[in-house]
Structure formats: structure tokens, C-alpha cells
Structure 1
């Protein structure tokens, strides 16, 4: 995956799968850890990283809810 150079080139976070968001988040963290970026670019990356982390958490929360619901349905079926 090549890193976009402008915000317009970046995909809308709300459309990313968990895997896509996580991969971009890992790349974003690596770029921030280099510390060789101008302040404005670092802030932009930080904000996008926060949004990516929120997207990943939303996916995980949704998966947990689905698993809990499936367990409840299985439990009700065995009673």
C-alpha cells in the first residue's frame, strides 16, 4: 500500500475495513515515530491516526456485539 501524499488522496475512513484501517494506522504510527516531519504534518497524521483507531475499535465492538448475540441465541436454543 502506497502512502497518500495529500488528504484528498486518502480514502474516507468510514469506508475502510478493519484490516485496511489497522494497516494504515500501523503505517501512520511508524511515520510519526520517525520524528522527521513538520509540525503541521505530524498533527494531521495524529488526527488521522486517532480516527483510524476509532474505526478499528468500532469494528471490534461490532464483532463483539455479534458474538454476544450469537451466544445468547445459542444459549436460548439449548434451554
Structure 2
């Protein structure tokens, strides 16, 4: 686990650490206090992954195609 705030992580970084957190929780070999800390960290990492996926989906949805199916540019996406 890193000390990097999830808000500063890339999708890949957050997903990798989330997998590690889930793995540790599934093993069940951590104390209750540490389990709570891991769960809280995992919730923040999950939220970050969801945010990054939503951003990517919005960018993909904003691409406009011409009659031949070729990208013609992008349409501005509000809220980014």
C-alpha cells in the first residue's frame, strides 16, 4: 500500500492497489483495526477508479463520426 492520495493516482495505480487491498482483506490475516483502515482505503480507491472510468466513457462518447465512421473531432464534454 502506498501513501499516495487516491485523488492523485492514475486508474492503473488505483486499480493495482485496490486489488492488493482486496487480497489482504480476503485472506483475513489482518487485525480488526487494520481491516477497517484497509476497507476505508479500498473504498477511496474504488471511487477513484469509478471517476476515471466515467471520464474515459465521457471522452469516448464525445467523439463524433462522419458518414464513413471516421472520427471528425470531438464534442466538448461539460463537467470535466
Give the alignment's TM-score, normalised by structure 1.
0.78
Q: Give unpaired runs (5+ residues) of structure 1.
A: 5-9
User: Is the aligned partner of 1:74 residue 2:65?
Assistant: yes
* Count of residues in correspondence between the two structures: 68
Task: Give the distance between the partners of 1:58 and 1:12, measured in 2 at CA.
Answer: 14
Provide the aligned C-alpha RMSD in A.
1.6
Give the alignment's TM-score, normalised by structure 2.
0.77
Task: Give the distance between the partners of 1:58 and 1:74, measured in 2 at CA.
Answer: 25
Report which structure shows greater RCO (CA 8 Å, sep ≥6): 1
Specify the alignment match of 2:29 in structure 1: 36
- Determine which structure has the larger helix proportion and give its number: 1
Secondary structure in 1 aligned to 2:33? helix
- Determine which structure has the larger strand proportion and give its number: 2
Task: Give the distance between the partners of 2:57 and 2:5, measured in 1 at CA.
Answer: 24
Runs of 4+ in 1 over 2 A off after TM superposition: none
